[in-house]
Amino acid sequence: MANKNKISNPRILIVTPEITYLPAGMGNMAQRMSAKAGGLADVSASLVSALFNLGADVHVTMPNYRKMFQGDIFNFHEKELRIYHEVLPEAHIHLAEDRIFYYRDRVYSNQSDEAMRIAMVFQREIINHIVPVVRPDLIHCNDWMTALIPAMARRRGIKSLFTVHNIHTRQVSLAQAEETGIDAAEFWMNLFFSQNPGGYDHARSNVAVDLLSSGIFAAHFINTVSPRFLWEIVEGWHPVVPWSVRQEIRNKYHAGCASGILNAPDTSYNPKTDDCLVRNYSHKDFRDGKRANKEAFQRELGLEANLDAPLFFWPSRLDPVQKGPQLLTDILVRMISDYWDRGAQVAIVANGPHEIYFKDIIKRFHLERRVAIVDFNERQSRLGYAASDFMIMPSLFEPCGLPQMTAPIYGSLPVVHGTGGLYDTIRPMNVEHAMGNGFRFDNYDPNALRWAVDRAMDFHALPDEAKGPQIQRVIRESIKEFSHQEVARRYIEIYEEMLARPLVEKEAGEELQGL
C-alpha cells in the first residue's frame, strides 16, 4: 500500500521478557534462546518469525538468561563459551546484559522487590544501550515490565505499540528508576503518575509512577489480547481493572488508537503430533484416538473406567478471583447426581486456592471414581484435552485465555462464560446448521453454568452420526482459526497502520493524546 509517510523497510524492535524460539537466520544463538512463562513467549516467537520470513528488518531484545539458554554455564567447554559470547555483530538479537538475568531458572520472580528490580534493569539496558544501537522506527512493548519504554520512545520521536496482556500493574518512584541507571528526567513528563506530580523535583521522590498506565498513556497505539476484553474495559465491566488503566485504555480507544488481537496456543498443541498422548489422532480418526486417551487418563486419575462417560475437564488454575471454580463447586454434587446413570465425570488438573473445596466435596460425598483432582503437570493436562469430551472455563473475566482455543483442537468442546477472549473464540454449537464450537453462558452464576453443562450433555446424548461430524468439523476449523500465522498477520497490519501515520510531536508538559 503506497503512502508518502510510509518508511521503506522499517526497523522494528520487539521488546519481550520471554520467547520460545527465533529464526535461525537471526543470529548464531537463535535456536538456543527459549525462556517461557506463558502465552507471551509464543506470540513473540511467531511474530518475530513471521516478520523475519517476510524480509522485514525485525530486531528482538530480551534478557540474557544464560542458564535457561545454555544450562549450567560452569560445565561449558572453552569452545562453547567462546561461541556463546560471539553474538554476530549484525545479528538482530539484542540481549540485555546484567548478572540479575544470568543465573535465573525462570522468567518471572515471585518476590515483589526482585521482580521490580529485574524489570528496571531490563528497561535500563534497552533505553541506554539497545535502542541507540538498533535505532528502530517502531518499538513493540509488552506489559508493565516494559512500560517505561513508550515514554522514552515518544520523547525520542520513535513510534511505539504497547500490548496489554494482563491488567496487573505496579508502581515505582522516579528515584527508584534512576537509582537503577535509567535517566527518567529525560521523559518523566510522558509518564502516568498516581497523582498530580507538580514538577520533576517533587515527583522524583513523592509521587509514584503507575507502570501499566504509563505504557498505555505514552504509547502511540495499544492493543489488548482480545477485542471483547477491550470493549469490556471501555464499558467499565470489571471493577478489578485499576481505574487508571481503564481510563487510559478508554482514551486510546476513543482516539482510534486501540485494538484487540487474540493470542493463539503453542503450535505443539496438536493431537496429530503431541507426544504426551498415548495415541495421536486427527479429525479423521478422532473417535479411536480420543477413546484411547480417555482410557489412559481415567486409569491415571483413578476415575471409573467407562469410555462412554461424558468427561468434563478443568485445565485452568483454581483461582476464585478470576477463573470461577466456585461456580463449579456450587453445582458439582447435583450435576454428578443428576447424570449418575450416564456416568458423568469431572477431572481437574490444576492447583490454586480453591482446590481444598473440590477435595472436601470428593471426600464428603465419596465421589472419588467420578471426580478427580491432581496437581497441574504438562503431560496430564495435554492428555486431559485429548481424553475429555468437554472443557470447563467459567472465568469472571478473561483478557484472552488459551485453554478454550486449545480444547477444540483436541475435539474437547469448551463450556465457557461469555466474557473477554472466551466470548471472542467460542460460538454456541448448532448441529442443525453445522456451526459453533462450544457452549457459552452469559450470566456469571452457578445456574447459568449448569444450563451450559446441560446443553453439553444434550449434545453428548446425540447419536454418533449426528455429533461425530460436528466434532470433526470443530477440530479441523480450530487448527486453522487459532493459529500464530493469523496473530502475526494482525500485528503486522497494526505496524503498517502506525508507520503510515505522521508522527505528531508534543511539547514537554503538554497533554498527550496518544496520536
Beta strand pairing call for 221-224 and 258-260: parallel
Query: With 50 as the cut, is the pLDDT of residue 92 above it?
Result: yes
d(C-alpha 289, C-alpha 387), whole Å: 9
**Element of type H or E holding 63:** strand 57-63
Q: Measuring CA to CA, which residue among 497, 438, 495 is closest to residue 139? A: 495
Indicate the length of the chain as a whole number: 515
Query: With 50 as the cut, is the pLDDT of residue 455 above it?
Result: yes
The pLDDT of residue 71: 58
Encode burial over 313-336: b for 16+ CB neighbours within 10 A, e otherwise: bbbbebbeebbbbebbbbbbeebb
Query: What three-state secondary structure class fits 413?
Result: strand
Q: What is the pLDDT of residues 124-156, one digit of tens each?
A: 999 999 999 999 999 999 999 999 999 999 999
| Exposure of 269 in the CB half-sphere (CA atoms within 13 A) | 29
The pLDDT of residue 2: 40
Query: What three-state secondary structure class fits 19?
Result: strand
d(C-alpha 201, C-alpha 173), whole Å: 12
Phi, psi of 205 (to 5 degrees): -120, -5
In the chain, what is the straight-line distance between the N-terminal and C-terminal CA atoms, in Å?
21
Cα 106 to Cα 18, 68, 110, 380, 398, distances in angstroms: 10, 8, 10, 22, 24
Cα 133 to Cα 19, 45, 92, 129, 398, distances in angstroms: 21, 22, 11, 7, 38
Under the banding of pLDDT at 50, 70 and 90, the label for residue 238 is very high
The pLDDT of residue 462: 98
Q: Which three cell numbers stand for residue 173?
A: 518512584
Query: With 60 as the cut, is the pLDDT of residue 83 above it?
Result: no
**Element of type H or E holding 294:** helix 286-301
- Rounded to the nearest 10°, the torsion over CA 24, 27, 32, 35 is -100
Under the banding of pLDDT at 50, 70 and 90, the label for residue 68 is confident
Phi, psi of 387 (to 5 degrees): -85, -30
Helices (H), 21-144: 39-53, 66-70, 78-85, 99-102, 112-125, 131-134
Which whole number is the average pLDDT over 251-255? 97
